[in-house]
Chains A and B, each alone.
Chain A
Amino acid sequence: MTATAEVSTGSRGNQPPVPDGAITVTVKVRRFNPEFDDEPRWDSFEIPALPSDRVLNLLHYVKWYLDGTLTFRRSCAHGICGSDAMRINGVNRLACKVLLKDLLASGGKPTTITIEPIKGLPVHKDLLVDMEPFFEAFKAVKPYLITYGNEPTRERVQSIADRERFDDTTKCILCAACTTSCPVYWTEGSYFGPAAIVNAHRFIFDSRDEGAEERLDILNDVDGVWRCRTTFNCTDACPRGIQVTKAIQEVKRALLFKRT
Chain B
Amino acid sequence: MQFHKYDVVIIGAGGAGMRAAIESGQRARTAVLTKLYPTRSHTGAAQGGMCAALANVEEDNWEWHTFDTIKGGDYLVDQDAAEIMAKEAIDAVLDLEKMGLPFNRTPEGKIDQRRFGGHTRNHGEAAVRRACYAADRTGHMILQTLYQNCVKHGIEFFNEFYVLDICMTETEDGPVCTGAVAYELATGEIHVFQAKSVVFATGGFGKVFKTTSNAHTLTGDGMGIVFRKGLPLEDMEFYQFHPTGLAGLGILLTEGARGEGAILRNGSGERFMERYAPTIKDLAPRDIVARSMALEVLEGRGAGPNKDYVLLDCTHLGAEVLESKLPDITEFARTYLAVDPVTEPVPVYPTAHYAMGGIPTNVHGEVLRDNDNVVPGLYAAGECACVSVHGANRLGTNSLLDINVFGRRAGIAAAEYALSRDEHVELPENPAAQVEAQVALVLSEHGEERVADIRTELQATMDANASVYRTEDTLKTALHDVQALKERYQRITVQDKGKRFNTDLLEAVELGFLLELAEVLVVGALARKESRGGHAREDYPNRDDTNFMRHSMYYKQGDGLAADIRLDYKPVTFTRYQPMERKY
A interface, CB within 8 angstroms of B: 10-13, 16, 33-36, 52, 63-65, 67-69, 71-83, 97, 99, 124-125, 128, 131, 135, 138-139, 142-145, 151, 154-160, 162-163, 166-167, 170-174, 203, 206, 208-209, 241
> Chain A residues near B180 (CB, 8 Å)?
none
- Report the separation of the CA atoms of residues A142 and B151 in the bound assembly, to the nearest whole angstrom: 8
User: Beta-carbon contacts of B493-513 to A below 8 Å, as 1s and 0s?
Assistant: 011101111111000000000
* A155 pairs with B494, CB closer than 8 A: no
Output the nearest chain B residue to A138 by Cβ-Cβ distance: B151
* A80 pairs with B335, CB closer than 8 A: no
> With A83-B36, A166-B102 as given contacts, are A156 and B450 in contact (CB-CB < 8 Å)?
no
Contact of B141 among A12, A33, A142, A170 (CB under 8 A): A170
- Report the separation of the CA atoms of residues A162 and B108 in the bound assembly, to the nearest whole angstrom: 12
Chain B residues 309-338 with CB under 8 Å of chain A are 328, 331-332, 335-336
- Report the separation of the CA atoms of residues A12 and B493 in the bound assembly, to the nearest whole angstrom: 9
> Does B456 make an interface contact (CB < 8 A)?
yes
> Does B98 make an interface contact (CB < 8 A)?
yes
> Does B418 make an interface contact (CB < 8 A)?
no
Looking at chain B, what size class is its interface with the partner chain?
35 or more
> With A97-B335, A171-B137, A173-B39 as given contacts, are A68 and B186 in contact (CB-CB < 8 Å)?
no
> Does B65 make an interface contact (CB < 8 A)?
no
- Report the separation of the CA atoms of residues A241 and B323 in the bound assembly, to the nearest whole angstrom: 13
Output the nearest chain A residue to B47 by Cβ-Cβ distance: A80
> Does B413 make an interface contact (CB < 8 A)?
no
> Chain A residues near B93 (CB, 8 Å)?
155
* A75 pairs with B110, CB closer than 8 A: no
> Does B564 make an interface contact (CB < 8 A)?
no
* A64 pairs with B102, CB closer than 8 A: no
- Report the separation of the CA atoms of residues A99 and B336 in the bound assembly, to the nearest whole angstrom: 8
* A144 pairs with B149, CB closer than 8 A: yes
B interface, CB within 8 angstroms of A: 36-37, 39-42, 44-45, 93-94, 97-100, 102-111, 134-135, 137, 140-141, 144, 148-149, 151-152, 186, 215-217, 251, 328, 331-332, 335-336, 448, 450-453, 456, 494-496, 498-504
* A131 pairs with B100, CB closer than 8 A: no
* B100 pairs with A13, CB closer than 8 A: no
Shortest beta-carbon contacts, A-B, top 6: A145-B100, A68-B495, A64-B452, A157-B109, A144-B148, A68-B504
> Chain B residues near A64 (CB, 8 Å)?
450-452
* B332 pairs with A78, CB closer than 8 A: yes
Which of B137, B499, B500 gathers the greatest number of chain A CB atoms within 10 Å? B500
- Report the separation of the CA atoms of residues A13 and B140 in the bound assembly, to the nearest whole angstrom: 40
* B450 pairs with A13, CB closer than 8 A: yes
Output the nearest chain A residue to B43 by Cβ-Cβ distance: A81
* B102 pairs with A82, CB closer than 8 A: no
Output the nearest chain A residue to B93 by Cβ-Cβ distance: A155
> Chain B residues near A139 (CB, 8 Å)?
151
- Report the separation of the CA atoms of residues A157 and B450 in the bound assembly, to the nearest whole angstrom: 56
Contact of A81 among B42, B94, B135, B152 (CB under 8 A): B42
- Report the separation of the CA atoms of residues A100 and B135 in the bound assembly, to the nearest whole angstrom: 29
Q: How far is the CB of B162 from chain A (nearest CB, A)?
A: 13
> Chain B residues near A144 (CB, 8 Å)?
99-100, 148-149, 151-152
* A173 pairs with B140, CB closer than 8 A: yes
> Chain B residues near A171 (CB, 8 Å)?
137, 140
> Chain A residues near B44 (CB, 8 Å)?
76, 80-81, 173
Q: How far is the CB of B531 from chain A (nearest CB, A)?
A: 32
> Chain B residues near A142 (CB, 8 Å)?
152
12 contacts between A and B (CB under 8 A): A11-B495, A12-B495, A75-B42, A77-B215, A81-B39, A83-B37, A144-B99, A159-B105, A163-B104, A170-B141, A170-B144, A172-B144
> Chain B residues near A36 (CB, 8 Å)?
498
* B456 pairs with A16, CB closer than 8 A: yes
* B148 pairs with A78, CB closer than 8 A: no
- Report the separation of the CA atoms of residues A65 and B451 in the bound assembly, to the nearest whole angstrom: 9
* B450 pairs with A12, CB closer than 8 A: yes
Q: How far is the CB of B255 from chain A (nearest CB, A)?
A: 17
- Report the separation of the CA atoms of residues A162 and B398 in the bound assembly, to the nearest whole angstrom: 28
Q: How far is the CB of A73 from chain B (nearest CB, A)?
A: 8
- Report the separation of the CA atoms of residues A12 and B494 in the bound assembly, to the nearest whole angstrom: 9
* B39 pairs with A82, CB closer than 8 A: yes
Q: How far is the CB of B518 from chain A (nearest CB, A)?
A: 19
Q: How far is the CB of A66 from chain B (nearest CB, A)?
A: 9
